[in-house]
Amino acid sequence: MEKKQKLFLSKYKTLFLVTLVFVFSISMLGFTAKYLYMTRYDRQIQTLERSLMDLKAAMNIDAIRQFNIEKVMKIIDRQNKSMPSNLKYEIANEIYNMSIKYSNLSVDLISAVISQETGDTWDPGATSKAGALGLMQIMPTTGMFLASYEGINWTTPEDVLYNPISNIRLGCRHLSALIQTYGVEGGIAAYNGGERKAAEWLASNKAKGILYKETENYVPAVLRYNNLYQKSQL
C-alpha cells in the first residue's frame, strides 16, 4: 500500500512538473510574441518618425531655397525689369547654389558684388573699360584660368563670361578663394584691386592710401549692399 502511495505521489509530482513547465512555456511564448509585436511596432513608429523628420527637413530646405531665390529675383526685378523671368530664376537659383557650395559666401554677399560690379543694372552683357565681362565682371585671363578648374569649356571670353550662369560659377569660385585667404573685407578688396594691394592693405591694418581709390570706394559699397540685402525682406 505504501509502495502504491509513493508511486502515485511520484506520478503526481511528474504530472505537476510537466503541467508547470507547460504553463510556463505558454506564458513565455505569449510574452515573446507580445515582445516581438511591440518591438516590431516600436520599429515601425521609429521609422515613421524618422521619415517625418526627413520630410520636415526637406520642406525646410526647400522653403529656404525658395525664399532666397525669390529674394534675388526681386533684387533683379528692381534693377533689370527687362530681364526674362526664366533667366531671373536661373540666375537666382545659381546664386543660391553657390551660397551652398561655398560656406564663406551668402546669397546677400554674391548679390551685393553683382549689384556693385554692374552698377545696379544686373546686365549679363556688362563690360568695363578695363575689359571685365558679365555679371561679376571677370577679366578674360582670370576667367580662362578659373574655367579649367570649374570644368567649363573655354571657347571665347564672350561666350563664357556673358553667359550669366558660367559667369556666376567662375566669379564665386574666385571670390570664395580670395575671402578664404584674406577675410571678407580683404577678399572683396582683392576681387576688385588685386591680391597684392589687398595683402598690403591688411598688413598696414587697413590704412588709407594703400588701396586704389576705386577699391577704397568699392569695399564699403559692397558691404552696404550686403547689409541692405541681409536686413531686407523684399
Using pLDDT thresholds of 50, 70 and 90, give the confidence band for residue 232. confident
CB 102 within 8 A of CB 172: yes
What are the phi and psi torsion angles at 138 (to 5°)? Answer: -100, 130
**208-229 per-position pLDDT tens digit:** 999 999 999 999 999 999 999 9
**Within a 10 A sphere around the Cβ of 178, how many other Cβ atoms?**
22
3-state secondary structure (DSSP) of residue 84: coil
Residue-level pLDDT at 8: 45
Residue-level pLDDT at 62: 86
Highest mean pLDDT among 1-5, 38-42, 222-226: 222-226
Q: Is the pLDDT of residue 32 over 70?
A: no
**109-126 per-position pLDDT tens digit:** 999 999 999 999 999 999
Give me the architecture of the 62-231 domain, per CATH: Orthogonal Bundle (1.10)
Looking at 13-17, 60-64, 204-208, which range is the least confident one?
A: 13-17
Using pLDDT thresholds of 50, 70 and 90, give the confidence band for residue 42. low
Q: Give the mean pLDDT of 65-86.
A: 95
Residue-level pLDDT at 57: 55
Exposure string for 77-105, b = 16+ CB within 10 A, e = fewer:
eebbeebeeeebeebbbbbbebbeebeeb
Residue-level pLDDT at 162: 98
Q: Is the pLDDT of residue 170 over 80?
A: yes
Q: Is the pLDDT of residue 31 over 50?
A: yes
| More reliable by pLDDT, 222 or 60 | 222
| More reliable by pLDDT, 139 or 4 | 139
Integer Cα distance of 58 and 66 in angstroms: 12
Residue-level pLDDT at 217: 97
Q: Is the pLDDT of residue 149 over 50?
A: yes
Residue-level pLDDT at 5: 47
Determine the residue type at 110. I
